[in-house]
Structure 1
Amino acid sequence: MLNLLRAARIAALLNTVMAEQASAAIADGRLKVRTRRKEVRLAARSSAVLTALVTGSAFGQTATTQFNVQISINAECQINSATDLNFGASGVIDAVIDATSAIAVQCTNGTPYNIGLNSGQGAGATVASRLMTGPNSETVAYSLYTDAGHTTVWGNTIGTDTVAGTGNGSEQAYTVFGQVPAQATPAAGTYTDVVTVTVTY
């Protein structure tokens, strides 16, 4: 801080020298400025610095350049998450059982995409009637829909049964509406399936 104050005082004296056509000299480590109005003395650590100030070569000189900043954004989509679809526990399946899952995708702004769900891993399953498989290869049928009314099956044929969207740069969430219809109930046990989510863009 002291050095900054000293430099400011030196600069002020230099302005006085130039504005009032005063004389300036260095002797015994001191800068002596004489004007028609007053005489000012300022101690300095280095007479070399003061000499540079008097000659105008220490302050007020700069050099500049520029550099470019750039990033290239490629069209892209990613699946951030897909939650499990759990129909819970049931005894005899004599009424429909509903459950939901959620899929979150994120695409670059303006990128169109389609979300498809395959038929799962059940033997003989289709997108209209998927199958959870359990003990002794017995199955429980279920379906996945794009709407809460369970009217539009969610499949993986673009332009037919996928869900279309356009990226906005942020995460976008979609609900999968699952339903187990009333059906002949298989043996007790746990029944599972794995459905693959695909985003095409």
Structure 2
Amino acid sequence: MHKINLPSRSVKARALLITRLLAVACLLLFVQTAKANCTANMQQPLVSFGDVDLLNPGTLTTQATVTVTCTKSAARGTAQTFQVCLAADGGQGVADQFTPRYMCLDGASCSTENQFAYNMYIDAARSIIWGTIGRGTQYREMLNTSISFSSSEAARTTKSRELTVYAQLITPLSNVPPGRYTASFSGGSTALAFGTGSSCGSLRALRFPFTVSATVVKNCNVNKPNNIDFGTVNPGDTNLAGSTSLGVTCTSSTPYNIGLKPSNNHTAGAGEMLPVTPGGGNTDRIPYQLRSGSGANGTVWGNTATAAQTGNGVGGTGTGLQQNYNIYATVPSADYHYGDYQDTVTVQVNY
């Protein structure tokens, strides 16, 4: 029997060749099994209502865009379609609260006194609340879209779609203090599901964090008071008195101070009524005094009030509802020429 010993060098060469072939096979396998994947990203990432004036609300709606991107996993020659769903719960800290959702005052614990109601929807009519299948049986409608790849497109090709989130403040608007209100959708408050069939499948830990925000601005509205009319008086009449009522509405917790300024700019509220029809030599000016209390000895109401100081004005703190104040005026004497007299008083609310 003859034995033939192959040179060890040839064995090594074959082993090297086998290793190369295996490497090529693995590479081909990797190309053919590219991983299917979809992600989402909220642009900005913010759903912002901007500045909100609770006393004079304008547009109470806003919207934002979510971009969904999918990567084809099927090889060239095979078409592929992804069904994608985006879920959102009630927000961090109030995950089960959907009707309505709430923003809370920055830096403060959320309570009924400082929470601002809103909601998010998947339709432009703002009738279908954006929800999730992960929280109970209600509000399970999610943002959804489909992304399709043709058979001519290679694996690892990516495509994106933009989805719109619609949001609206809930009326009647809360009488909340001024400040910035936010709701955080971070951590597990958002999730994404996608499938290659007609269903999105199960939610996955694929997050697209964002924040909802609104800034409530402080403001005051003033109702124009009725005129103070002393009526028809005789030249010998003294100690005339009249009054009216002023209504002021300021945002909740907003301090304000009210000043009254006669047309002569007297800072202590001592004005003068001039003839309505000048001429005929009548140069009389009938003095009067504005007051916050009734009678000739009532407290003077002038115009030294500022946003920080009440001065000789009248101060208050807003509740979101109208607050009423009586304005009194006194005239020491009516011993002047016959005729009609008047003056204009400016109400200044400082806040």
CA contact (8 A) 1:125 1:131 kept: no
Does residue 263 of structure 2 align to residue 121 of structure 1? yes
Q: Which runs of 5+ in 1 are unaligned?
A: 1-61
Identity of aligned residues (%): 33
1:176 aligned partner:
327
TM-score between the two structures when normalised by the length of structure 2: 0.36
TM-score between the two structures when normalised by the length of structure 1: 0.61
What is the identity, as a one-letter code, of the residue corresponding to 1:127? Answer: A
RMSD over equivalenced CA pairs, Å: 2.3
> Shift of residue 94 of structure 1?
3.4
CA contact (8 A) 1:144 1:178 kept: yes
Dislocated runs of 4+, deviation >4 Å: 66-71
Does residue 142 of structure 2 align to residue 64 of structure 1? yes
Output the CA distance in 1 between the equivalents of 2:267 and 2:316.
24
What is the identity, as a one-letter code, of the residue corresponding to 1:160? Answer: G
Output the CA distance in 2 between the equivalents of 1:76 and 1:131.
32
SS of the residue corresponding to residue 88 of structure 1 reads coil
Which of these residues, 76, 84, 96, is aligned with residue 239 of structure 2?
A: 96
What is the identity, as a one-letter code, of the residue corresponding to 1:153? Answer: V
Does residue 274 of structure 2 align to residue 133 of structure 1? yes
> Shift of residue 165 of structure 1?
0.3
Does residue 304 of structure 2 align to residue 157 of structure 1? yes
| Pair 142,112 (structure 1): closer, same or farther in 2 beyond 3 Å | same
> Shift of residue 126 of structure 1?
5.7
Larger Rg: 1
The count of corresponding residues between Structure 1 and Structure 2 is 137
> Shift of residue 145 of structure 1?
0.5
What is the identity, as a one-letter code, of the residue corresponding to 2:142? Answer: T
Q: More strand per residue: 1 or 2?
A: 2
| Pair 157,93 (structure 1): closer, same or farther in 2 beyond 3 Å | farther
> Shift of residue 69 of structure 1?
4.3
What is the identity, as a one-letter code, of the residue corresponding to 2:258? Answer: I
SS of the residue corresponding to residue 323 of structure 2 reads strand
| Pair 128,121 (structure 1): closer, same or farther in 2 beyond 3 Å | closer
> Shift of residue 139 of structure 1?
1.1
1:44 aligned partner:
none
CA contact (8 A) 1:106 1:171 kept: yes
What is the identity, as a one-letter code, of the residue corresponding to 1:96? Answer: N
SS of the residue corresponding to residue 272 of structure 2 reads strand
| Pair 63,142 (structure 1): closer, same or farther in 2 beyond 3 Å | closer
Q: More helix per residue: 1 or 2?
A: 1
1:148 aligned partner:
294
